[in-house]
Amino acid sequence: MRISKDALKGYILEEVLAYLIRTTGYKLLVDPSQDPRDLETRGNGLVVKGRGGVHQVDVLGQLEWIPAFTFPLRLFVEAKFRNTKTGIDAVRNAVSVLLDINQNNSPTREQKVFPQKYQYVYALFSTSGFTKPAMDMALAHQISLIDLSGDEYRDLRNIINQSAENIVGRIGDIANEEGYEPDEIGISERGRLVSGVRFFIRERLETLPTGVQHDQFDTHTLEDALGPVVRMANQYNELFVAMANGPYMLLMKAENPQAFLHYATNHPRHRVLITWSRQDDNGQTWEIMPSENENAYRLSFRLPEILARWIFSVPDGTRQRAIQAKQQYFSTITIYRYVEEKDLLFRLEFDLENTRRHAQEVFGRWE
């Protein structure tokens, strides 16, 4: 059975995302030695034990601090790289995985009195957006959906697509050299290829946890295919995960990450303008800049599609609905960052008056 190019693109994207959101405070879990109770290695890689079965995990992180009134948090990261919108099946799978794993409460013999318990959550990324049923179900079950279909991620999508094509092509070359069809490559060979891809990216981007023994792979054959992906990830450097004043998680790309960090570190709480234009990604990519110094930094984020549908469904009421969304959901945007064992919390507060002034000056209209 041939490895799917779409699946391979998803695997590559997951590893790149693990690097780009590394400062959100999640430590990558890659080996059962990091948690012998809940993690195992099976034929397809790492799995997490649930109440009724085990579940394959591609990228799993553990938050290095514990929020009040909850168990320690662990995050599943799954990425879909397709030409069509990600549908309800992917969300349904996430819901069932969380339901089974979060109900697993069987302590080991050594943990009869004080078993360790984690709260698992799920983030689903898609390069092509999500269907409405998928969004509705995700909202009902607290699955975070992140849309990577915006123009700001075009270069990353293109380089991953090309890399996957090169790897799949290389599989065909090897099969021809050895006298069999690509479809005849077995599960173990495909699993080892995927492991090699993950190892290559993790090693190059330095996301491999320290103190964990790792299988060694001959990755020099992947250099031509995956080297450009690593270089592109380094160009992006970092994406910022933010929580809006509502049920939406936002993935923010800074025009200059260091400029944003410099300003936000010196002004952990500051007022911001939130703007958008019909000419920019059909109005679905919004921008943030500080009110006091509009040139200090610029963040962009893809508007959650369920909000975009509501805002743009009534042409005559678009601006008013955009204002309502900003006031209701984006009045306070919180960004948490953990780096070098330091916790940083940035609060961006929506400034309606100055946003209206800015829109009048730049676009010739009031927001």
Query: According to the model, what pLDDT value does residue 211 have?
Result: 75
Report the pLDDT value the prediction gives residue 14, as an integer from 0 to 100.
96
Q: Which pLDDT value is given to residue 207?
A: 93
> Which CB contacts under 8 angstroms, 24+ apart, belong to 32-35?
33/212, 33/213, 34/209, 34/212, 35/116
Please check whether residues 65 and 209 belong to one and the same domain.
Answer: yes
Q: Please name the residue that has the structure tokens 């948690």.
A: 35
Residues 94 and 207 in one domain: yes
pLDDT tens column, 284-303: 999 999 999 999 999 999 99
Residues in a beta bridge with 59: 77
pLDDT tens-digit series, residues 17-59: 999 999 999 999 998 999 998 999 886 678 999 999 999 988 9
pLDDT of residue 286: 96
Distances in whole angstroms, Cα of residue 332 to Cα of each of 14, 130, 238, 272, 310: 28, 25, 21, 10, 20
Quick one: 203 and 88 in the same domain?
A: yes
DSSP assignment of 269-291 equals EEEEEEE--TTTGGGTEEEEEES
Q: What's the whole-model pTM score? A: 0.89
Q: Are 170 and 220 in contact (CB under 8 A)?
A: no
Question: Which of 193, 211, 237 is the last residue before a domain boundary?
Answer: 237
Q: How far is CA 112 from CA 83, 100, 109, 119, 143, in A?
A: 49, 21, 6, 19, 31
Q: Which residues contact 180 (CB under 8 A, 6 or more apart)?
A: none
**Domain final position from 220, 237, 254:** 237
The single residue listed with the structure tokens 């507060």 is 349
Q: Are residues 105 and 144 in the same domain?
A: yes
Which pLDDT value is given to residue 170?
72
Question: Does 164 share its domain with 50?
Answer: yes
Q: Report the alpha-carbon distance of residue 30 to residue 181 in Å, rounded.
A: 32
In this structure, how many other beta carbons lie within 10 angstroms of the beta carbon of residue 275?
20
Residues in the chain, pLDDT under 50: 1, 174-175, 177-180, 182-187
Q: What's the token pair of residue 170?
A: 């290389």
- Same structural domain for residues 145 and 130? yes
Q: Which helix (H) or strand (E) holds 158?
A: helix 154-177
Same domain assignment for residues 312 and 279: yes
Q: What is the pLDDT of residue 334?
A: 97
- The predicted pLDDT at position 82 comes to 93
pLDDT value at residue 51: 92
The domain spanning residue 110 has which CATH number? 3.40.1350.10
> Is the same domain home to 233 and 336?
no
Whether residue 130 is found in the same domain as residue 172: yes
End residue of a domain, out of 237, 271, 292: 237
Domain identity same for 68 and 169: yes
Residues 197, 254 within the same domain: no
The tally of domains found in the chain comes to: 2
What's the confidence (pLDDT) of residue 107?
56
pLDDT of residue 37: 87
Residues 114 and 181 in one domain: yes
Domain containing residue 168: 1-237
